[in-house]
Chains A and B, each alone.
Chain A
């Protein structure tokens, strides 16, 4: 039935941590906690000819109905050039972390804040004045705004690591550089299959390997992020998410260190524009390291901070405050390889938030991951 090469892989990851229905530090939406999740994924690649491949991955979280995480066609137009085009539900070109889909490439259990922590911003609802936004500080797991959808719902992270966008991307690879650009339907914080605002996101990344073991990258993306559900007086394309990021990784011997810095700005349709302007910003910075102690044991740690720009309430005499509650996270842990493809991990994560009902919380989490 299938000519050519057909290759499969799969992964089962069980994560067990303390339930958290108060602080929602690790929620990826209103229902899923990244520290308390069973994830099954199955990926396949069919390459009927050398320069054409079909790639797909389906994934189920907590035994929900499986969803297509990736589904695209990959074409290499010229045999002699490492230039590839991919179309469909494609991996993001921005940054580095979102493409680390395999558990084996993630040392710790928790996610970097930029890729998981839910801000209060929603693409289908918007604040009218600064006070609407400030009322939702530290409520990203279930925020609500007066403009657009009236239902409460989860906000968005700076970049979603749990969904991929739909569109077309091109990548050109040389010995020491990688250049990639994409045009997609959604945005980094709100990847989509179906268009909801007649705008496209353009994103790109340039990565350089100056020496073996060192990789530095720079990324940028911009695209309309508000959906049609939010009524605006001007075009939705004016309400863009603009993101710039840098990433670096260095490894040598038994060490690996990597980190990213991501700055993002969302323009909002305020009826009364705050003194700071019509946009809000966020800056996420994280660095993590891993050391292989023995062939089976490793230790890892990550420091992570998510900060926000300030806006001023309409209440007379107010001082500017961050539009979201800044968060600091530190996670330390380790892993033990039972077999090459079975790893048991444990970690402890400290979270501190400058706002909300619960301002700090620790989580002890264990995880077993298997791949084939």
Chain B
């Protein structure tokens, strides 16, 4: 944890040199709910005075709908595998890269939740701001063992039964793949951002990113089963910008 924070602090300091008009405030950060006088730098950026933020909205179309994740066939089973919930692999994440200057104002200390239900992680894709703690409650009548070997955050929560929950704090931006050590078909993604300009698509593939300062940005649509797509978008003063994506397994 300490190393992660040092790394995050170094990243944030490095970021200062690349983002114009960035100002370094008093170095303090929330660590485990307490304010410390050192650690990750809290950053403040200049935002255009008088410019009302707008939003980016649109739809991410998946040209080849991804198939559900089936368990590994296990010839040693003595019967049919218990039914499990469908994994919603249609969810995509749309985010701005790089983020607007106001993106790094606050380091969140929020909570999010990823259920284990019907041998499925719900939601299958969770997007959070760095500093968020994710709860992993077990709502099944069997053990689960949530773990990740991803570089931004590796963890192993061990086995715990229904009704119990364990939590993990994600401090470093990146994509964290989450699995269950007992059920091979259980997997999920936690996409950790250093800013808050992102959105996960709904059932219809729609998304909306609010409070975007006016300007021209690069937006990225990410889905686990297809190459990402990048597009430029301009957000006007208090205006909505429409931006649609069409993801395909074949690169254009």
- Chains A and B form a bound pair: yes
A interface with B by C-beta (< 8 Å): 5, 7-9, 43-45, 51, 53, 55-57, 69-70, 72, 74, 76, 82-84, 86, 91, 93, 98-102, 169, 171, 173, 175, 178, 180, 211-213, 251-256, 292, 294-296, 337, 339-340, 371
B33 contacts chain A at the CB level, 8 A cutoff: no
Question: Cβ of A102 and Cβ of B156 under 8 Å apart?
Answer: no
Question: Cβ of B75 and Cβ of A70 under 8 Å apart?
Answer: yes
Among A82, A101, A296, A340, chain B packs the most CB atoms within 10 A around the CB of A340
On chain A, the residues within 8 Å of B156 by CB distance are: 254, 292, 294-295
Contact with A along B151-162 (1 / 0, CB 8 A): 000111011111
Q: Is the interface of A mostly helix, strand, loop or mixed?
A: strand
Question: Cβ of B80 and Cβ of A340 under 8 Å apart?
Answer: no
Residue from the list B78, B80, B158, B162 in contact with A180, Cβ < 8 A: B78
Residue from the list A5, A101, A292 in contact with B75, Cβ < 8 A: A101
Bound complex: CA of A251 vs CA of B181, how far in Å? 12
3 closest A-B pairs by beta carbon, nearest first, are A84-B79, A45-B73, A99-B76
Beyond A7-B72, A295-B147, whether A254 also contacts B158 by CB under 8 A is yes
Per the 8 Å Cβ criterion, residues 132-148 of B in contact with A are 141-143, 147-148
**Taking CB as reference atom, which chain B residue is nearest A293?**
B156
Among B77, B143, B177, chain A packs the most CB atoms within 10 A around the CB of B77
Distance from B148 Cβ to chain A, minimum over Cβ atoms (Å): 7
Question: Cβ of A296 and Cβ of B154 under 8 Å apart?
Answer: yes
On chain A, the residues within 8 Å of B78 by CB distance are: 84, 86, 91, 93, 99, 169, 171, 178, 180
B interface with A by C-beta (< 8 Å): 70-80, 82, 141-143, 147-149, 154-156, 158-162, 177, 179
Distance from A69 Cβ to chain B, minimum over Cβ atoms (Å): 7
A-B contact pairs, 11 of them (CB 8 A): A7-B71, A43-B74, A72-B75, A212-B143, A213-B161, A254-B156, A254-B159, A255-B158, A294-B156, A296-B154, A371-B72
On chain B, the residues within 8 Å of A98 by CB distance are: 76
Question: Cβ of A9 and Cβ of B72 under 8 Å apart?
Answer: yes
On chain B, the residues within 8 Å of A74 by CB distance are: 79-80
On chain B, the residues within 8 Å of A296 by CB distance are: 149, 154
Question: Cβ of B79 and Cβ of A295 under 8 Å apart?
Answer: no
Question: Cβ of B162 and Cβ of A53 under 8 Å apart?
Answer: no
Question: Cβ of B80 and Cβ of A76 under 8 Å apart?
Answer: yes
**Taking CB as reference atom, which chain A residue is nearest B78?**
A171
Bound complex: CA of A100 vs CA of B182, how far in Å? 13
Beyond A7-B72, A101-B76, whether A213 also contacts B149 by CB under 8 A is no
Question: Cβ of A295 and Cβ of B73 under 8 Å apart?
Answer: no
Question: Cβ of B79 and Cβ of A171 under 8 Å apart?
Answer: yes
Bound complex: CA of A292 vs CA of B182, how far in Å? 13
Bound complex: CA of A294 vs CA of B73, how far in Å? 28
Distance from A90 Cβ to chain B, minimum over Cβ atoms (Å): 8
